[in-house]
Amino acid sequence: MSSCQPVRFKDKKTFAARNRDSEAIKAQYPDKIPVIIERFKNERNLPVLDKIKYLVPFDMTMGSLASIVRKRLQLSSAQSLFLLVNQKSMTCASTVIGDVYKDEKDDDGFLYIVYASQEIFG
């Protein structure tokens, strides 16, 4: 049985290419953060997002970002959604993304977030 898991952004492009992309984005949009949002690799209940690259204002909260992802996935209010930064840490909904970016951005300049339908501990 083959999995229909899409290829990860980090696996599609070299570090140098990703770094160039993030630098170009930050130069063009200095008030925005380049964010990559992908489905957690073991997630089976939630659909795959139609796009993974997002430009997010520094002052947006994680809760607002979660609402945007929920809308894009067309989730019902009964379906749960968890956003994990760097596939490990959940952040408070009131946390400003600029602070998350400062602490958690990848060396390539992107902030990586995965989404899942249940909390992932590991």
Looking up residue 73, the CATH number of its domain turns out to be: 3.10.20.90
**For residue 3, is it within any domain?**
no
Residues (pLDDT < 70) of the chain are 1-6, 119-122
Q: What is the pLDDT of residue 90?
A: 81
CA-CA distances (angstroms) from residue 110 to 46, 75, 118?
23, 26, 24
Asked whether residue 121 is domain-assigned, the answer is: no
Residues in the chain: 122
Whether this prediction's pTM lies above 0.75 is answered by yes
pLDDT of the residue at 1: 36
Q: From CA 64, how far away is CA 45, in angstroms rounded?
A: 22
Which pair of tokens denotes residue 3? 């999995």
Q: CA-based angle 104:108:113, to the nearest 5?
A: 45
**Residue 71 belongs to some domain of the structure:** yes
How far from the centroid of its chain's Cα atoms is residue 87's Cα?
9
Structurally, how many domains does the chain consist of?
1
pLDDT of the residue at 30: 95
Write down the pLDDT at residue 91.
85
Residue 20: the pLDDT is 97
- pLDDT at position 122 is 46
In a domain, 56, yes or no: yes
**11 HSE (CA, 13 A, CB side):** 5
